[in-house]
Amino acid sequence: MMILSAGFWLVVTALAALALQAQGGNFPPMYRVHAFYYLWYTEPSAGGWTHWDHEVLPHWDAAVAAKHTHGVRFEPPDCLHSPYYPLRGPYSSTSRELIRQHLVEMEQYGIGVLVASWWGPPWRQGSHDTQMVNTDSRLEMVIRELEESGSKVRIAFHLEPYEGRTKETVHEDLVYLSKKYRDSPAVLQINGLPVYYVYDSYRLPASDWAQLLRRNDGPLNVRGTPADGFFLGLWLDRDDGDEDILPAGFDGFYTYFSRWAVSKDLLFVPSIGPGYHGGCPGNKKQSERPSRRETLDHDTTMLLYRALWSAALSAGVQMVSITSYNEWGEGTQIEPAVPRETRLGCQYLSYEPASPYLYLEITSEGSKRLGQLTAGGEGETCQATSAGGNGDDGGGVGDGGSDDIAEQ
């Protein structure tokens, strides 16, 4: 068992044993750093508020929920569904200028891959998040901006658990995304395949995923087809590796809210974040979840993020992902935040006395150090496995081979 625990907030992504070599040379250091990126925000000029005005959800414990207000909505722009106030204000993800700013910022601070939240194709009933937002057209805006701007940032797909997701709709999703983006130079590839993080993968049985991700003669199999990819399932509970990830045929896994991970001949790639915050401090509207970040003072939160970077680097990792670039509702963001006076009873945390760019600056330091370590051979290297493997064992991890990671 390999345990990585440098604080209460550690997200671990495991990729199948990979030799981090790009086609024709070393894997570029910036593509070793991924950040989860959310496209669900809008404001009135783009058609109305979404997510900034999220309703307050009840706590899962009925006794706790009874002590707090829930069901009412936040009231932007003064009272946001966020414990912090964005430097850019409550923005819209449909703004091409905003996307451009984000990409410039990511590249400047050492983030090479944005993992974009996607809720399915727009024509399918139920393909939206809880606020009725479908992000398909927004994903296309990001990819087109990447292609047209010459940005070095690349994109990976974060497949979200829309209502009614089945093995059949997932197959449909993969065919759809493949037709649109497989040949795009904006898409990050591992072993020549686009990268997919599959959120809440455990909601489908491993046997369903196996029909998609393990080589077979069935109509849903994607291995060896244009819809193939490099798939990371979500590890939620201690036994998910043996019970879900491996039999399902995933190429690797990632996991939230965990202090540990079990090694099964995988290269661990920690994904780190500054903490989680379930509500606004002093806000008359309390959110649904117990908070970690809200109970910490600023110095402790900053030290935690630094410590998690240090732990990841000390473990000899070759890739790191970050939760998150801009999940403002849960307070996990590293995007710049500014102080904000109390309005409508809402108080906000800030990064003061440090810069609004504090967590991006820490990210930049870690990204540079990760590049130095891997370039110097200090990180662990492994032989790659080809996605899908061979024969009846197709899909899944640890199948041997010597493919590589590439950005097209």
* Burial class of residue 314 in the structure, from the number of CB atoms within 10 Å of its CB (0-12 exposed, 13-18 middle, 19+ buried): exposed
By C-alpha distance, which of 186, 180, 176, 179 is closest to 155? 186
State yes or no: pLDDT of 290 exceeds 50.
no
Would you call 136 helix, strand, or coil by DSSP? helix
DSSP string, 279-316: S-TT-SS--SS--SGGGS-HHHHHHHHHHHHHHHHHTT
- pLDDT digit string (tens) for 314-364? 877 777 889 999 999 988 999 999 999 988 888 899 999 999 999 999 999
Q: Give the strand pairing for 85-86 and 33-37.
A: unpaired
How is residue 164 annotated by DSSP?
A: T
State yes or no: pLDDT of 195 exceeds 50.
yes
Name every residue whose Cβ is closer than 8 Å to that of residue 358 and which is 6 or more positions away in sequence: 302, 351
State yes or no: pLDDT of 396 exceeds 50.
no
Q: How many CB atoms lie within 10 A of CB 146?
A: 21
Side-chain-side CA neighbours of 3 within 13 Å: the count stands at: 7
State yes or no: pLDDT of 213 exceeds 50.
yes
Q: Which residues pair with 231 in a beta bridge?
A: 196
Cis peptide before 77 (omega within 30 of 0): yes
Would you call 188 helix, strand, or coil by DSSP? strand
- pLDDT digit string (tens) for 19-49? 343 332 356 788 889 999 999 999 999 999 9
Measured CA to CA, the distance from residue 362 to residue 175 in angstroms comes to 38
Measured CA to CA, the distance from residue 279 to residue 349 in angstroms comes to 11
Would you call 37 helix, strand, or coil by DSSP? strand
DSSP string, 215-255: --SSTT--TTSTT--EEEEE--STTHIIIIIHHHT-SEEEE
- pLDDT digit string (tens) for 147-158? 999 999 999 999
- pLDDT digit string (tens) for 65-98? 777 777 789 999 999 999 999 999 999 999 999 9
State yes or no: pLDDT of 123 exceeds 60.
yes
Q: Which runs of consecutive H residues, i.e. helices, occur in 253-404? A: 298-314, 358-375
Token representation of residue 24: 């024709």
CATH match of 11-407 with 3.40.718.10:
no
